[in-house]
Amino acid sequence: DIVMTQSPDSLAVSLGERATINCKSSQSVLYSSNNKNFLAWYQQKPGQPPKLLIYWASTRESGVPDRFSGSGSGTDFTLTISSLQAEDVAVYYCQQYYNTPQTFGPGTKVDIK
């Protein structure tokens, strides 16, 4: 199984400041035949299901604010919230869908400082 790790476990950022979350996979999730990274990011607020933010490591889902961006390739990925808003308080998960079982990172909790 591909093991996903995230850092930090939690972070507190001032409103309007940048938040950066890292995700690492135990093996590459870059598929050579299409040069795409099989990596997604989700946001989960308390009592709600996860919400898709990013897929193919850097493609923003329709309707997701452009302050959310994804980057990285191979085994190392980053989710950046460029200017944290109050509604961004949540837990963020990365997920690999390169193979099965699909696996998620343990989550990073983002709070307001």
Partner 1 sequence: QVQLVQSGAEVKKPGASVKVSCKASGYTFTSYGISWVRQAPGQGLEWMGWISIYNGNTNYAQKLQGRVTMTTDTSTSTAYMELRSLRSDDTAVYYCARGGQYYPTRWFDSWGQGTLVTVSS
Q: Which residues bind partner 1 (CB under 8 A)?
A: 38, 40, 42, 49-52, 55, 61, 93, 95, 97-107
For the CB of residue 104, give the shortest distance to partner 1 in the complex, in Å: 4
| 46 Cβ neighbours under 8 A, 6+ residues apart | none
Which CB sits closer to partner 1, 16 or 101? 101
C-beta closer to partner 1: residue 1 or 17:
1
In angstroms, give the least distance from the CB of 12 to partner 1.
19
Q: Are 107 and 10 in contact (CB under 8 A)?
A: no
Q: Which is nearer to partner 1, 16 or 49 (CB)?
A: 49
Comparing CB distances to partner 1, the nearer of 75 and 95 is: 95
As measured in angstroms, the least distance from the Cβ of 91 to partner 1 is: 9
Which residues, 6 or more positions from 42, have their beta carbon under 8 angstroms from its beta carbon? 50, 51, 52, 53, 92, 93, 94, 95
Structure tokens at 19: 């938040």
Contact 88, 22 (CB under 8 A): no
